[in-house]
A and B are shown apart, each in its own frame.
Chain A
Amino acid sequence: MEIFGSNKTYNFMGKRLPFLALSGILVLTSIILLFTKGVHLGIDFSGGTLVQVKYEKPAPIPQIRDILSQHKTFEKAVVTKFGSDEEIIIRIPTSTTSLGKDIGDEVRTILKSTGTYQIRRVDIVGPKVGNALQEKGLMALSLAIIVILIYVSFRFEIRFAIASILALIHDISIALGAISLFNVDVNLDILAAILTILGYSLNDTIIVFDRIREGVTTSKETDLNKVVNESVSMTLSRTTLTSLTTFFVVLTLYLFGGEIISGFSFTLLVGVIVGTYSSIFIAASFLVQLNFSISKYRLAQAEKEKREKEKERLRAQFEQGIV
């Protein structure tokens, strides 16, 4: 079976401006969403309390809200359905530090009149922990970007590195926009998902760039657009295939993985789609926009080779005892 004929070259670069425009609109919308609507920080980052309750019958949400509103601690509690009709989540913005009797125990006692239920999960995160995690999360994200920048510049060239980072920022901002739009609770697992997207989308981009590098060094073609078109077309079936298999897996995780990891798999789902799109249509366009020059690259490459040969010659001479 084959999806794309491997001999066909598609003119991606000729149509790069409409795609860049589309991406621009998506990224801009996401940024506007992030600044106006913002993301909803979950308790991992904001601190607070989360109680998951499962009733034997459908949960009497209005009654639960009513009872909670009568207690001062739970004034700001938010009650939402979770997965099924029987299961609810109560979110409380405050946390307690006392070990003996905590908010979870209180919920257990005051809900007694609402039916038979089981408390399945109680998460309490103090404000100090939340702040520390926020810092660590940002640290991880920026460190990852720096490390990638260094590695790709070392293995390819600085413009490849910049283009791949731009593609990453593109993917991550759109994923964040989707998180904001669909009110996903941002917890540690979402951070993990974002970092996975980062790795995944980079993976895709690098495989395309690897082909471009190969095309630049082996073919005689001097028109960057043509080299890029050929390389992207050659890797097209690989990019779509891998994306498809990953997409299958993430989709099953999203559909059947349960409510607790649904935020995680949703973020990945968006990431896989955006990541694939960007490695086919966007990443290489950045390279072209950055005025990457084939002839200069070849010159630099030749220079490098010459230096290496020179070194080798000297070493050989040294070994033979001439110098």
Chain B
Amino acid sequence: MKIFNYRLVIFILATVFGIMFSIPSFLQTDSGKKISLGLDLQGGLHLLLGVQTQKAVETKIKNIAATVQYFADDNDILIEDLTINKTDLSFVLLDDSEVQKLDEMLKDIKGLKVTKTAQLEYNISLTPMQISIVKDSAVSQAIETIRNRLDQFGLAEPSVVRQGKTDIVVELPGIKTQEDEQRARELISKPANLELMAIDEKKADQVYTLTPEQAQEFGDTILPDSNDPKIKYLVHQIPILTGSQVVDARVAFDQSNQPIINFKLSSFGGKIFGDFTAKSVGKRLAVVLDGKVFSAPVIRERIGGGSGQISGGFSVDEAGNVAIALRSGALPAPVVMLEKRSVGPSLGADSIKSSLFALISGFVLVVAFMVLYYGYAGLIANVALITNIFIIIAIMAMFGATLTLPGMAGIVLTVGMSVDANVIINERIRELLKQGKSIAHAIENGYSNAMSAIIDANITTLLVAVILYAYGTGPIKGFAITMSIGILASMLTAILGTHGIYEMLMGKMTKDKNLKKWFGVK
């Protein structure tokens, strides 16, 4: 009598594999690959963000305008009527001897479409190719920026990944309270667009009578005060400097102990800033953050050293957020929330408790029923079932999969369905036994007769699971994964494994001949 056969050996190897690799998940040890809990089970925040990439194109145009303005001022080139529209900018060059110099400078900026008339009216826009580059990099830059901000915020394992063309998925496990969550969201969404802008002193007194369109004609724009939106400022549309030149930003406190933000500019930014302040003594400079004027001090002298400060009624938290946002860079385009799923930690714990209870009680019911109905054959099927669960968990752990609530449901369902193969086989064996066939013959043919039904049934279910995976999002994918692994593992355990066990017990069974004990037949 041989005890070991190849089926049994494979089954034992699979069992050992299953138990070994599922231990870290069961005990939640520190080392080894284990299943992590999904946000719906451990609590946390899931966000789907949309990047408004069109705005990135507008910002790009604005930056080009600032460059042109600076270049013209720096080289004493006379230009006039520099205005920006959403996607293009235009100006008139007054001195035709400077055409070549200006054109060379423009050529250095990549992806521009420049047209000019005989009167030297320039119009500059981006090529379609450049527009798609700008849009694409806006999304990847937004991901980078959000990641930086969340890292500095000090949250454990934030995940920020791209989805599709313009969307970003942010997952933050371990957020405990709604207040924390709101702060994290505010941090992510803060555009942190710092602009230093010159106030149009010539027309400043008309600010309350001008319409935005009229202001636009002068190359100006009207911005509200950050504390009192009724106060307006008329500033030149083209900023002197933007936040892209900020290299550091820290929270500090002023004389009256109010939080302020000190920022430091790059050396290039510092030079622009120094040049501008030198020739604008007596005029006002507006410090603009996200379209609001925080302060507008009068320039008393040239400011060298390239640093400045933002003050104006921040709370300490807010100031902290602004400083982090400035340090990690501005969002190149605003982001909007397309979807949010936020689960409190207590709800997650409740979900684990109830689904675990359902899993265990369902499992006990099935196991008891199988033994009651099939005797030892049921017991053998149960061994396969238990191994199956171990293997599902081991494989999920190896892939670093996350276990979600639907994933738990998938495992529960697999428990119900994976005994199916054994039910089919056992029924076939019983049929043959009743025809008076020997136990060895009944088992051999029982397996082969049952095979086509099991294979066809499993393949169709697997096909559905694959489609579910391909078209599902997040949690549904989890359900499809556990179901597919369960089906594949059940082929190994329920078909191969149980067959191996029967072969091992063959000697005993043929000697014993107690069909009721072994197969539950009368």
Contact = CB atoms under 8 A, between A and B. Distances in A.
A140 interface: yes
Contacts of B460: 148, 151-152, 199, 202-203, 206
B186 interface: yes
A137 B120 CA distance: 57
Interface of B is mostly: helix
B465 interface: yes
B182 A1 contact: no
Interface residues of A, number: 79
A224 B413 CA distance: 35
B355 interface: yes
Nearest to B49: A99
A315 to B, nearest CB: 25
Contacts of B341: 121-123
Given A108-B178, A252-B365, A99 B413 contact: no
Contacts of B337: 96-99, 102, 124, 126
Interface in A250-299: 250, 252-253, 255-258, 260-261, 264-265, 268
B48 A129 contact: yes
B362 A248 contact: yes
Interface in B169-190: 178, 182, 185-186, 188-190
Interface in B455-477: 456-461, 463-465, 467-468, 470-473, 475-476
A91 to B, nearest CB: 15
Contact of B182 (A101, A124, A214, A257): A101
A260 to B, nearest CB: 6
A207 B479 CA distance: 24
B20 interface: no
A136 B477 CA distance: 13
B372 interface: yes
B208 interface: no
B344 A188 contact: no
Contacts of B471: 136-137, 139-140, 143
A151 B351 CA distance: 38
B409 interface: yes
B412 A244 contact: no
Nearest to B343: A121
Contacts of B80: none
B178 A119 contact: yes
Contacts of B182: 100-101, 105
Contact of B373 (A105, A234, A241, A250): A241
B370 to A, nearest CB: 8
B472 A192 contact: yes
A140 B464 CA distance: 9
Contacts of A129: 48, 338-339
Interface centre among A102, A241, A245 (most CB of B within 10 A): A245
Interface centre among A125, A129, A248 (most CB of B within 10 A): A248
Interface of A: 1-2, 6-7, 52, 54, 96-102, 104-105, 108, 118-126, 128-129, 133, 136-137, 139-140, 143-144, 147-148, 151-152, 155, 188-189, 191-192, 195-196, 198-200, 202-203, 206-207, 210-211, 214, 234-235, 237-238, 241-242, 244-250, 252-253, 255-258, 260-261, 264-265, 268
10 contacts: A6-B431, A54-B346, A101-B186, A144-B464, A199-B464, A203-B420, A203-B461, A245-B423, A249-B366, A264-B406
